[in-house]
Amino acid sequence: MARMKFLCDSDRCIECNACVTACKNEHEVPWGINRRRVVTINDGKPGEKSISMACMHCTDAPCASVCPVDCFYKTDDGVVLHSKDLCIGCGYCFYACPFGAPQYPQAGNFGSRGKMDKCTFCAGGPEADGTAEEFAKYGTNRLAEGKLPLCAEMCSTKALLAGDGDIIASIYQERVAKRGYGSGAWGWATAYKTGVQAGQGPAEKKG
Amino acid sequence: MKNSLAHLFRILALALVLAFAGAHTASAQTTPPAASEKELLEYLKKCPPGQVCQGRVSIPDSKSATLVQDGRMWQERMEGPVKRYGGWFLIAVVVLLALFYMVRGKVKIDSGVSGKTIERFTGFERFVHWLTATSFIVLGLTGLNIRFGRGVLMPMIGEDAFASVSALGKLLHNFTSFAFIAGIVLMLLIWIGHNLPAKGDGAWIGAGGGIFKKGVHPPAGKFNAGQKLIFWAVILLGGAIAVTGIIMMFPFYFASMSGMQLATFLHSVLAIILIGVILAHIYIGTIGMQGAFDAMGSGKVDLNWAKEHHSRWVEQVQGKKSGAAAE
């Protein structure tokens, strides 16, 4: 089974926010929730970089570990999903997430955050694949249709890659080798406990 | 004239801005064209402490401009110190209390029940106590469920039932908190006078409150030194738990991400300590001591119990009474 990962090549990202828009549209994400976002740092200065960020579907996901009701689970593809039926909206996953991925539909005063929502790697939720119930809670299940996440699929500069971790890492390494520089696979060290650099093996540490 | 002066100022201001901007770009030109992730992280770390190190996003949620934060540190804290050590601490408290009960048994009234009673707590005092006590029990149980329920209750009742219980528990926890806060505020107002350090507290603690030996009863006022410690634990720990709880109830209104993480961490740690203290308090107020529960039950305690455990207070009350009778 493939181990699904995201990789954002920040040397290619042009901050067009198409990934953000595609995600919102594909999954009919409610107003105020952003499963994906583009963060620009060093804005307007030399070395400016934009990075498209969403749930990285971590190895040993901290959200799953701190959840008081154990509502997270990992698919065979290594995608971290959760059950909105179990979620109590406590907000712990947001405090534990390195990437700010969990989103809540409400302001959250008096503990009224509502059910947590986050990037599903376009893989739906615990409901049967492709059902209306699954779509209403988690959005489209593209993985079940044999398609990869829409954000990466429609990225105009192919900065955002989604798919088998080994394949996207090798694509990135090829790029770095060809153009002679690379900022590294953003967030990989935090999410997968491994980085990707030219000449370094892409495979995730097993165990 | 006025207009041309304003114009001049504007030109001067513009020149100043351009000069600064020029100086800035010149100094920043050392940055390599392709900064590595490590360098970018260093840049984020370089912001002055206390300031949020953020990028820019084009969506309204300003929190989302934080690219990466140390969530794993919070995870480790909540699982290590809080869950593991906190869990063992509570188990240790229960085991120690059980051992103490087996060794010492129930503390009896040494001079026997007199049959005469004396009013110890008024109806209002008991109301304040039980307002705080009942809300604390609800808060404690629902709080422990959030922290330990996944490992204890969930395997017993299944994940669906457990999620429903926890969702209800969270609501109860949030709204019962106001009763608890009212309780500790009232408690502070009505009992602070009796809980200031007084002569004899040192001797009382020195004698271990007389709890380890039969027939030993160091003199005490309305509250002995042990009760004073319970009082201040409830006020100070309870107060800190209330403040951190309010911060948690209004997420990101009073605190940033690191503040929220600290609040949740402190809330859990202090609450577990206070639960331990209160377990001991419940023990000595119920099965641990004969005649103690009446103080908060009917409000009237046996005179012999009062003379043994709060001799100074009895003298005070009876002195006042006989003084009033003599007049």
- Cβ–Cβ gap B35/A42 under 8 Å: yes
Helix (H, G, I), strand (E, B) or coil at A203: coil
- Chain A CA closest to residue B259: A95
Tell me how long chain A is: 207
Task: Residue A83: name the closest of B167, B261, B171 by CA.
Answer: B167
* Partners of A52 in beta bridges: A38
Give B-chain residues touching A184 at CB under 8 angstroms.
36-38
- Cβ–Cβ gap B75/A65 under 8 Å: yes
Beta carbon pairs, A and B, within 8 Å? 161
pLDDT at B325: 52
The answer to whether B261 and A95 are in contact (CB under 8 A) is: yes
Give B-chain residues touching A70 at CB under 8 angstroms.
150, 154, 159
Per-residue pLDDT of chain B (327 residues; tens, 9 = 90+): 455 555 655 555 555 444 444 444 433 333 333 445 565 566 555 655 444 457 888 888 878 888 888 889 999 999 988 999 999 999 999 999 999 999 999 999 999 999 999 999 999 999 999 999 999 999 999 999 999 999 999 999 999 999 999 999 999 999 999 999 999 999 999 999 999 999 889 999 999 888 888 888 999 999 999 999 999 999 999 999 999 999 999 999 999 899 999 999 999 999 999 999 999 999 999 999 999 999 999 999 999 999 999 999 999 998 876 655 554
Question: To the nearest whole angstrom, how far is the Cα of B275 from the nearest Cα of chain A?
Answer: 19
- Residue B197, classified by CB atoms within 10 Å of its CB into exposed (0-12), middle (13-18) or buried (19+), is exposed
Q: Which two tokens stand for residue B195?
A: 């809980």
The answer to whether B237 and B273 are in contact (CB under 8 A) is: yes
Task: Give the containing element (helix H, strand E) for B197.
Answer: none
Question: To the nearest whole angstrom, how far is the Cα of B14 from the nearest Cα of chain A?
Answer: 19
pLDDT at B262: 96
- Cβ–Cβ gap A62/B71 under 8 Å: yes
pLDDT at B11: 56
Q: How far is CA B138 from CA B143, B267, B282, in A?
A: 8, 16, 15
Task: Give the containing element (helix H, strand E) for A133.
Answer: helix A132-138
Q: Which residue, chain included where needed, has tokens 């893989």?
A: A123
pLDDT at A182: 81
- CA dihedral for B120, B126, B132, B135, sign (positive or negative): positive
User: Which residue type is seen at B23?
Assistant: A
Is A116's pLDDT higher than 50?
yes
- Chain A CA closest to residue B53: A41
CATH number of B118-225+283-316: 1.20.950.20
Give A-chain residues touching B250 at CB under 8 angstroms.
108-109
What is the distance between the alpha carbons of residues B275 and B136, in angstroms, rounded to a whole number?
A: 9
- Chain B CA closest to residue A109: B250
Give A-chain residues touching B165 at CB under 8 angstroms.
none
User: Residue A49 has what DSSP assignment?
Assistant: E
How many C-beta atoms surround the C-beta of residue B297 within 10 A?
A: 14
What is the distance between the alpha carbons of residues B18 and A203, in angstroms, rounded to a whole number?
A: 49
Residues 6+ apart with CB under 8 A from B4: none
- Chain B CA closest to residue A100: B64
Nearest CB neighbour to B150, from listed A10, A40, A69 = A69
Residues 6+ apart with CB under 8 A from B294: B117, B120, B300, B301, B302, B305
Choice among A75-84, A127-136, B212-221 with the minimum mean pLDDT: B212-221
What is the distance between the alpha carbons of residues B196 and A147, in angstroms, rounded to a whole number?
A: 71
Helix locations, A14-124, DSSP H: 18-27, 62-66, 92-96
pLDDT at B283: 97
Q: In chain B, what are the domain boundaries?
A: 118-225+283-316
* Partners of B69 in beta bridges: none
Nearest CB neighbour to A41, from listed B55, B63, B163 = B55
Nearest CB neighbour to B74, from listed A17, A67, A95 = A95
User: Which residue type is seen at B240?
Assistant: A
How many C-beta atoms surround the C-beta of residue B254 within 10 A?
A: 14
Task: Give the containing element (helix H, strand E) for A80.
Answer: strand A80-82
Question: To the nearest whole angstrom, how far is the Cα of A32 from the nearest Cα of chain B?
Answer: 8
Angle at CA of residue B228, ends B226 and B231, nearest 5°: 115
What is the distance between the alpha carbons of residues B299 and A84, in angstroms, rounded to a whole number?
A: 49
- Cβ–Cβ gap A69/B61 under 8 Å: no
Q: Which two tokens stand for residue A74?
A: 């990992």
Q: How far is CA A34 from the centre of its chain?
A: 11
Predicted structure pTM score: 0.86
pLDDT at B49: 47
Helix locations, chain B, DSSP H: 2-28, 37-45, 71-77, 86-104, 123-152, 154-157, 159-191, 201-206, 225-232, 238-249, 257-285, 293-296, 303-309, 311-326
The answer to whether B306 and B118 are in contact (CB under 8 A) is: yes
Nearest CB neighbour to B64, from listed A49, A100, A189 = A100
Task: Residue A51: name the closest of A122, A116, A99 by CA.
Answer: A99
Question: To the nearest whole angstrom, how far is the Cα of B13 from the nearest Cα of chain A?
Answer: 21
- CA dihedral for B301, B304, B310, B312, sign (positive or negative): positive
Tell me how long chain B is: 327
What is the distance between the alpha carbons of residues B149 and B165, in angstroms, rounded to a whole number?
A: 10
The ipTM is 0.89
Task: Residue A100: name the closest of A42, A150, A154, A58 by CA.
Answer: A58
Residues 6+ apart with CB under 8 A from A121: A4, A6, A55, A57, A77, A79, A143, A149, A162
Residue ranges and CATH numbers for the domains of chain A are: 4-192 (3.30.70.20)
Selected residue of A38, A39, A65, A179 to mutate for chain B interface (largest B Cβ count, 10 A): A39
User: Which residue type is seen at A40?
Assistant: T
